[in-house]
């Protein structure tokens, strides 16, 4: 009798164990992720300045936020940066992937060279490019030394052009990774389909435009989602490359949020900018994850 009850107990323990094991991490994620999101949302509706206060003021912070020139600059910069960054990274990545897929000699040597920037911190990337783009010591000076006196490349000091230097550095960092995603997609395409199309007389260009690129749809989608996500949370790169300057020329929502919350003591406005960032990312991620979840059994 006693043996059967211990066996029962052990079975029941086995049934409970997975839940017991998951419970602490579940609680932590509920609190630290979902609880804190809720807290930030609540803060964004309060008049908190340096410390959180719970005097609800409705949408005042959001109205103030969108009236701020500083925020408008950050949003416009993000629009410019995200569009160019995503478009150029995908174009460069796709081109390199297609070219590398032409039975290239030395592919094993080239691929790691395209990919290594992805291993680096955005701080490292920013520092390297900051130096390289500095007109006084970097590329411009070298061109002058080589006799090209009229060469001017002062974007990093120019408030109208500085945002494009962020694009250059960000593309350098991630386009190789996009290449790897497309290359994996290309290698996954059934060769028989391509052969059949060739026999039907399709030129190489037609082959890629009509058949291969449409078949890369999943790779396009994941590359887009990843790049979009990286663009919105871009913070380190701006800090290292331009520090948000010259002036405020390269502020992005992430740097805006940081300065309003931590250095300007405008917590309510900082929180509302964080909520806007969350909603922008959610607009892309929620439908994407939802479709991914539905596809998988």
Give the residue, chosen from 165, 254, 269, 272, that forms a contact with other proteins under the rule CB under 8 A. 254
Beta-bridged to residue 46, according to DSSP, are: 56
Measuring CA to CA, how many Å separate 52 from each of 10, 59, 263, 269? 49, 16, 15, 12
Give the residue, chosen from 37, 63, 76, 283, that forms a contact with other proteins under the rule CB under 8 A. 37
Give the residue, chosen from 64, 211, 236, 246, that forms a contact with other proteins under the rule CB under 8 A. 236
Written as six digits, the tokens of 81 are 């940066």
Residue 47 found at the interface with other proteins (CB under 8 A) = no
Shortest reach from residue 250's CB to other proteins, in Å? 15
- Backbone phi, psi, residue 46, to 5°: -115, 165
The CA-based angle 41-42-43, given to 5 degrees, is 90
Residue 170 found at the interface with other proteins (CB under 8 A) = no
- Residue of 171, 191, 184, 252 lying closest to 222 (CA atoms): 184
Q: Which residues contact 288 (CB under 8 A, 6 or more apart)?
A: 221, 225
Give the residue, chosen from 7, 22, 27, 79, that forms a contact with other proteins under the rule CB under 8 A. 22
Report the site for other proteins in 186-215 (rule: CB under 8 A).
195, 198-199, 201, 204
Give the residue, chosen from 8, 9, 21, 91, that forms a contact with other proteins under the rule CB under 8 A. 21
Cβ distance 237 to 130 under 8 Å? no
Shortest reach from residue 81's CB to other proteins, in Å? 15
Neighbours of 186 (CB within 10 A): 19
Q: Which residues contact 24 (CB under 8 A, 6 or more apart)?
A: none
Give the residue, chosen from 75, 170, 232, 269, that forms a contact with other proteins under the rule CB under 8 A. 232
Residue 25 found at the interface with other proteins (CB under 8 A) = yes
Shortest reach from residue 2's CB to other proteins, in Å? 19
195/217 with CB nearer other proteins: 195
Residue 247 found at the interface with other proteins (CB under 8 A) = no
Shortest reach from residue 189's CB to other proteins, in Å? 17
User: Omega of the bond prior to 246 within 30 degrees of 0, cis?
Assistant: yes
Shortest reach from residue 145's CB to other proteins, in Å? 5
Give the residue, chosen from 14, 69, 150, 263, that forms a contact with other proteins under the rule CB under 8 A. 14
Total of residues contacting other proteins (CB under 8 A): 96
The full length of the chain comes to 297
Shortest reach from residue 163's CB to other proteins, in Å? 19
Q: Which residues contact 76 (CB under 8 A, 6 or more apart)?
A: none
- What angle, rounded to 10 degrees, do the helices at 107-115 and 162-187 form? 140
Report the site for other proteins in 97-156 (rule: CB under 8 A).
99-100, 102, 104, 110, 112-125, 127-132, 137-139, 141-142, 145-146
């Amino acid at each position: 009798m006693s043996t059967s009850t211990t066996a029962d107990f052990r079975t029941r323990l086995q049934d409970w164990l997975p839940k017991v094991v998951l419970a602490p991490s579940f609680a932590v994620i509920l609190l630290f992720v979902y609880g804190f999101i809720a807290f930030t949302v609540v803060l964004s509706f309060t008049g908190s300045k340096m410390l959180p206060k719970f005097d609800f003021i409705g949408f005042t912070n959001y109205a103030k936020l969108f009236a701020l020139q500083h925020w408008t600059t950050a949003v416009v910069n993000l629009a410019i940066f995200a569009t160019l960054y995503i478009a150029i990274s995908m174009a460069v990545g796709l081109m390199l992937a297609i070219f590398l897929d032409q039975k290239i000699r030395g592919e094993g040597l080239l691929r790691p060279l395209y990919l290594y920037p992805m291993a680096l911190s955005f701080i490292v990337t920013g520092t390297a490019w900051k130096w390289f783009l500095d007109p006084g010591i970097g590329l411009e000076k070298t061109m002058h030394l080589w006799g090209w006196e009229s060469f001017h490349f002062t974007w990093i000091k120019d408030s109208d052009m500085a945002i494009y230097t962020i694009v250059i550095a960000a593309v350098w960092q991630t386009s190789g990774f996009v290449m790897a995603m497309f290359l994996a997609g290309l290698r996954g395409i059934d060769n028989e389909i391509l052969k059949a199309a060739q026999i039907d007389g399709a030129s190489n260009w037609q082959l890629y435009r009509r058949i291969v690129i449409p078949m890369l749809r999943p790779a396009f989608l994941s590359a887009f989602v990843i790049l979009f996500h990286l663009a919105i949370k871009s913070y380190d790169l701006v800090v290292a490359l331009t520090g948000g300057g010259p002036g405020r020329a390269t502020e992005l929502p992430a740097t805006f949020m940081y300065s309003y919350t931590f250095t300007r003591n405008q917590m309510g406005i900082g929180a509302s900018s964080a909520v806007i960032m969350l909603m922008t990312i959610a607009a892309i991620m929620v439908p994407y994850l939802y479709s991914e979840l539905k596809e998988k059994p």
